[in-house]
Amino acid sequence: MDSKIYLSSPHMGGAEQNYVNEAFDTNWVAPLGPNVDGFEKSLESYLGNGNHVAALSSGTAAIHLALILLGVEKGDEVICQSMTFSASANPIVYQGATPIFVDSEPETWNICPNYLEEAIKDRIAKGKKPKAIIAVHLYGMPYKVDAIKKISEKYEIPVIEDSAEALGSSYKGQKCGTFGDISILSFNGNKIITTSGGGALVSRNPKHKERAIFLATQARDAAPHYQHSEIGYNYRLSNISAGIGRGQMEVLDKHVGLRRKMNQFYKEIFGGAGGVKIFSEPTSDFFSNHWLSCILVDKKISGFSNEDLRVAMAENNIESRPLWKPMHLQPVFKDAPYYGDTVAENLFEIGLCLPSGSNLRIEEKVKINDVLMQLIDN
């Protein structure tokens, strides 16, 4: 059988090995060092807008620390987009707080401003004002930043911007990862760039970075001995992993361009197929890195379903995947409050993520095209 075509696999640029070798040669094999500092500086330069970056072990760790920095504690409530990966919501529970899930709007598939405000009003009426809002740029598509910011400011509830999937995306020319009171990034192996496993916390407040690093390094007090006045975590990114990240930053914009070309590739394949909609920017204000290219399939028109596509691709050793199953439908969150209709649920029912890697070879694209066209033509 031919080698497997993955949904989104790591794509090295070549310089990563140099930074990793330098770490070994200088014996900086630790959760600190020149690569960590250099990686943070590269990200700060890329994001601009006076942002400060703390490199961490994962995007999940970044969300956890963001919640702590915003004072989320046991018994609090945090609003979270339902249509997302579980790592957006799990840290809420780490803190002993309750997630309040909100439906998506159909244009960007992200948190719906109308249902967000409805949720805030109702939680306040019930006697508990939410401590934070977690808004996600799904599959690289920016959420409706202006509308969410307006609501956030109106009710004085800070936004944690989950930009795990959206490094390289922008809204009205401003980079995603810079819109939240605190923002987070992910460098997991399947992301637009990778450090193998890793993430970052981003904030315009330098004290947020300082505090995040303190907590991420076991909250050690300033003393010659090991003294701890509060609970800390082992959340700092290693100097080896950061070396990979430094090399990846050199090819980030190239990778974004290649991912966007994959999105265009699917537009050409499905252009003549009725009943298939490619996930695309709603207006020119939105610029998606198209981390994953996604489609919605109306079987009544197309004659095939998203599951038919997934199975056909799997039979040819090509990975595809259903959209994220909304959090309010997950067994682990079955008792969590939910505000909305069935937008997220419907997206999950008819959606599919397609192979989107920036490193897909021509022959792999030909194979994908052939499998999809065979189903379309039948």
Q: pLDDT for 152-198, tens place per residue? A: 999 999 999 999 999 999 999 999 999 999 999 999 999 999 999 99
Question: Is the model's pLDDT at 232 over the cut of 70?
Answer: yes
> Within a domain: residue 4?
no
**Are 219 and 320 found together in one domain?**
no
Residue 320's nearest CA partner among 289, 280, 351 is 351
pLDDT at 273: 86
The pLDDT assigned to 352 comes to 98
Q: What is the predicted pLDDT for the residue at 166?
A: 98
pLDDT (tens digit, 9 = 90+) per residue, 55-93? 999 999 999 999 999 999 999 999 999 999 999 999 999
Q: What is the mean pLDDT of the chain?
A: 97
Last residue of a domain, one of 185, 218, 250: 250
Same structural domain for residues 208 and 311? no
Question: Do 142 and 262 fall within a single domain?
Answer: no
27 lies in which domain range?
16-250
Is 332 within a domain? yes
- Given 198, 222, 250, the domain boundary residue is 250
| Total domain count, the chain | 2
- Tell me what pLDDT residue 1 has: 58
Please indicate, yes or no, whether residues 218 and 313 belong to a single structural domain of this protein: no
302 shares its domain with 206: no
Asked whether residue 132 falls in the same domain as residue 233, the answer is yes
Report yes or no on 349 lying in a domain. Answer: yes
pLDDT score at 368 = 98
Residue 59 main-chain phi, psi, to 5 deg: -65, -35
Residue 2 scores a pLDDT above 80: no
Same domain? 212 vs 287: no
User: Is residue 1 assigned to a domain?
Assistant: no
- Specify if 5 maps to a domain: no
CATH code of the domain in which 359 resides: 3.90.1150.10
Same structural domain, 144 and 228: yes
- Whether residues 214 and 310 share a domain: the answer is no
Residue that is last in its domain, among 195, 230, 250 = 250
Query: Does residue 232 sit in the same domain as residue 287?
Result: no
CATH number of the domain at 243, please: 3.40.640.10
Looking at the domain assignment, is residue 2 inside a domain? Answer: no
In a domain, 308, yes or no: yes
- 21 and 169 housed in the same domain: yes
Please check the confidence at residue 204 and state whether its pLDDT lies above 90. yes
Q: Are residues 104 and 246 in the same domain?
A: yes
**What's this model's pTM, rounded to 2 decimal places?**
0.97
pLDDT in tens, 258-309: 999 999 999 999 998 899 999 999 999 999 999 999 999 999 999 999 999 9
Report the 3 state secondary structure along the chain: CCCCECCCCCCCCCCHHHHHHHHHHCCCCCCCCHHHHHHHHHHHHHHCCCCEEEEECCHHHHHHHHHHHCCCCCCCEEEEECCCCHHHCHHHHHCCCEEEEECECCCCCCECHHHHHHHHHHHHHCCCCCCEEEEECHHHCCCCHHHHHHHHHHHCCCEEEECCCCCCCEECCEECCCCCCEEEEECCCCCCCCCCCCEEEEECCHHHHHHHHHHHECCCCCCCCCCCCCCCCECECCHHHHHHHHHHHCCHHHHHHHHHHHHHHHHHHHCCCCCEEECCCCCCCEECCCCCEEEEECHHHHCCCHHHHHHHHHHCCECCECCCCCHHHCHHHCCCCEECCCHHHHHHHHEEEECCCCCCCHHHHHHHHHHHHHHHHC
Instruction: State pLDDT tens for residues 115-140.
Output: 999 999 999 999 999 999 999 999 99
The verdict on residue 9 lying in a domain is no
